[in-house]
Chains A and B, each alone.
Chain A
């Protein structure tokens, strides 16, 4: 019976292939670029869904974690250590094999950290930041938590705007492709479009499997009990603080992974990824998806980000997400997919995801 929760994953994998074929048949393969980007944003949303929907903790700082991942890989893979070749640290790193030498757009030789170690460093650093922030902050509730995470997001934003090493208002560009394995690489150039479509979706599906596993386990039940009544959960011997903290770190790590991969894909990252509005967007998407609904969050994460990236909302982009927040809370607090009229369509999916 436990395997039943993974059926939608298989269905999703099939749909992804069908979508590819449909796009190829209609000559709209250029949509795949935005779908790929949306998929990376969906990673953030999946993480936030775990935190908000299942553990019931609000975060207005997830763009900060996204940026922590993105900026770390951007800095590490573009910093030129050529001039420091003789220093013991660089020599040691080079002997460890974490450095790579390549040529940038202008043909200059660059010695920098290679993408895999940079990616791992980004994940570890973000986990560390989330731990440091989470330790004190996750004790807070309701609007205190909202404001504290908002404050964290604003600090990261100011840092991105102010620090020279982070490129200030220009951000960091010229981030190299991420060679995953053999021929596979996260690369935004057109020849790599199709393989990147599948790389991004694989990342999303892996995250989904992990998340589904988590919410259908002992930990998931503990989290849901915390959401319903923290006192009751506590009285049953659940270490609510530890569970909340662990979920906070996990969701930060997912955001960082999305940020790091998207930065490689785009070849750049800038302060616009760190604004409060970005954090609010992720929150809106989780709300539309139905809070404690991983599939809803993922689908909405892809859909809304795709529409936004295609510029469908025009100059009303931010307003749309604000209106979504209000509308959902007023009319469909269980999420768009649980509106009675749509229920028939989604009952299969949603029942299973709750296994």
Chain B
């Protein structure tokens, strides 16, 4: 392979990788406050993108995206209030099963609303043929949008968790829920907030990739398993490491696609997932057997 080809594959790897990272961050936010994995995480991306697509027929694109993010955020909060909160003696097994059920119901609802067709948002700037050239590789302007938005999301979240009172309260809940409650933190509300937050950033990520990958009602499951792989690779709960892991998985997939048939692309993440679960369940970056949890 020559340099432009390497760049081409590399950039496409980084693009999908940054989306995986956002999904993983969504997993992490909920995992940190509740200790459960939300199997419906992938569905948030698709709901966000689909809503934006429908809204974009009536209002300008930025308004449509904003509306979609708000609606999905509300959906996330609603899911927590109506379902998660009401699970009696909530064991991990039980909560997992509820989120699996939710993911299916949401997916089927989307099938009935938007049917089986793949839809897509228009390109944010320019058209599908507007490209920029970097070191001989041609990339769509939308790729820059994906990378930019991902970077903004991750940075904003880091700042939010580090410097705002609410962010700190959420971190306190993840460290020790009882202690946080004793300090006067409304831990229930923090859980609701974590669902809203992760639904919201999921929706935004879903919107930004929609022009490139298109959006179909059943794409959530694939995204979820890849996002989960990335979250585990980085160590559950560790969002900064998830970004590195996301880029790693994206590049690995791009490498496999460049060398073998693209049919194997889907298997890469699963194989990586199984390997990491077997050999290093605490993640690639864990220093000790028990990983350090930082939001």
A residues with a Cβ closer than 8 A to B are 56, 58, 60, 136-137, 140-144, 146-148, 150-152, 154-155, 158, 162, 276-277, 280, 283-284, 287, 315-316, 318-319, 321-326, 329-330, 333
Contact = CB atoms under 8 A, between A and B. Distances in A.
11 contacts: A56-B93, A60-B100, A147-B225, A155-B271, A319-B105, A322-B101, A322-B103, A325-B100, A325-B101, A329-B97, A330-B83
A322 B102 contact: yes
A143 B92 CA distance: 8
Contacts of B149: none
A289 B251 CA distance: 44
A152 B36 CA distance: 21
B273 A323 contact: no
B134 interface: no
A154 B225 contact: yes
B277 interface: yes
B57 interface: no
B277 A137 contact: yes
B98 A326 contact: yes
Given A148-B277, A326-B98, A333-B89, A143 B37 contact: yes
A101 to B, nearest CB: 36
A329 B278 contact: no
Contact of A147 (B83, B97, B266, B277): B277
B274 interface: yes
B104 A147 contact: no
A141 B35 CA distance: 13
Grouping DSSP codes into helix (H, G, I), strand (E, B) and loop, the A interface class, with mixed when no group exceeds half, is helix
Given A158-B267, A323-B105, A329-B87, A151 B97 contact: no
A318 B100 CA distance: 12
B181 interface: no
Residue among B88, B104, B109, B271 having the largest count of chain A Cβ atoms under 10 Å = B104
A120 to B, nearest CB: 28
A330 B86 contact: yes
Given A318-B104, A322-B101, A322-B108, A330 B96 contact: no
B35 to A, nearest CB: 9
Contacts of A154: 225, 266, 270
Contacts of A329: 87, 94, 97-98, 101
B44 interface: no
Contact of A58 (B96, B98, B225): B96
A329 B91 CA distance: 10
A316 B277 contact: no
B289 interface: no
A124 to B, nearest CB: 23
B175 to A, nearest CB: 20
Given A147-B37, A151-B270, A322-B103, A142 B108 contact: no
Given A319-B108, A322-B104, A330-B88, 20 more contacts: A137-B274, A137-B277, A142-B93, A143-B36, A144-B277, A146-B96, A147-B37, A147-B228, A147-B277, A151-B273, A152-B274, A155-B267, A280-B104, A287-B97, A316-B108, A319-B105, A319-B109, A322-B105, A322-B107, A330-B83
Contacts of A280: 100, 104
Nearest to A154: B270
Contacts of B39: 146
B263 interface: yes
Contacts of A140: 277, 281
B153 interface: no
Interface in B203-230: 221, 225, 228
A143 B224 CA distance: 13
Contacts of A276: 221
A333 B278 contact: no
A173 B232 CA distance: 40
B25 to A, nearest CB: 17
B235 to A, nearest CB: 13
B112 interface: yes
B101 A143 contact: no
A16 B35 CA distance: 45
A277 B281 CA distance: 26
A55 to B, nearest CB: 12
Contacts of B107: 318, 322
Contacts of B36: 143
A7 B123 CA distance: 67
B59 to A, nearest CB: 30
A162 B273 CA distance: 20
Most chain B beta carbons < 10 A, residue from A141, A154, A277, A323: A154
B98 A142 contact: no
Contacts of A142: 92-93, 96
A325 B278 contact: no
Interface string B97-136: 1101111110111001000000000000000000000000
Given A147-B37, A150-B225, A333 B93 contact: no
Nearest to B267: A158
A283 B93 contact: no
A319 to B, nearest CB: 4
A318 B270 contact: no
Contacts of A60: 100
A330 B92 contact: no
A316 B232 CA distance: 33
A166 to B, nearest CB: 14
B278 to A, nearest CB: 4
Nearest to B269: A151
B96 A333 contact: no
B28 to A, nearest CB: 13
A315 B112 contact: yes
A152 B98 CA distance: 21
A280 to B, nearest CB: 6
